[in-house]
Structure 1
Amino acid sequence: MAAFNLTPFDPSTFILMGIPGLEDAHVWISIPFFMLYVIGLLGNFMVLFVVGKEQTLHKPMYLLLCMLALTEIGTSTSVVLKALCIFWFNLKGITLGGCLTQMFFFHAGTVMHSAILVTMAFDRYVAICNPLRYATILTNARIAKLGLVGLIRAVFFVLPLPLLLIRQPFCANHIILHTFCDHMAVAKMSCGDITINRMYGLVIPFVVNALDLTLIGLSYGLIIRAVLRISSKKAHRKALNTCTAHICVMLMSYPSFFFSTLTHRFGQGIAPHVHIILANLYFLLPTMLNPIIYGIKNKELLEKATDLKPLLQEGESISPH
Structure 2
Amino acid sequence: MLAVLAVLVLLGIWQRDVLTYAFLQAKGQIGILMQVEDVDQVLADKTFPDSLKARIRLIQEIKQFGVDSLGLTPSDNYTTFYNQHGRPLIWLITASERYKIEPYQWHFPVVGTFPYKGYFDSTRAVTEEKALIDNGFDTDIGEVSAWSTLGYLKDPILSSMLLRRVGSLTNLILHELTHGTLFVKNNLELNENLASFVGDQGTIRFLKYKYGGDSEQMRQYEYSKRYNDAYSRHMLRGAGRLDSLYKTFGPDPTPSPEKDSLKLKLITDIVGDTDTLLSGKRTLTNKNRWPDGKLPNNAYFISYLTYKSKQDSFRQEFEKKFEGDLKKYLNHLKGKYPSL
Please say whether Structure 1 and Structure 2 have the same fold, judged by a TM-score greater than 0.5.
Answer: no
Structure richer in helix, relative to its length: 1
Give the TM-score, by structure 1 length.
Answer: 0.33
Give the TM-score, by structure 2 length.
Answer: 0.32
Structure richer in strand, relative to its length: 2
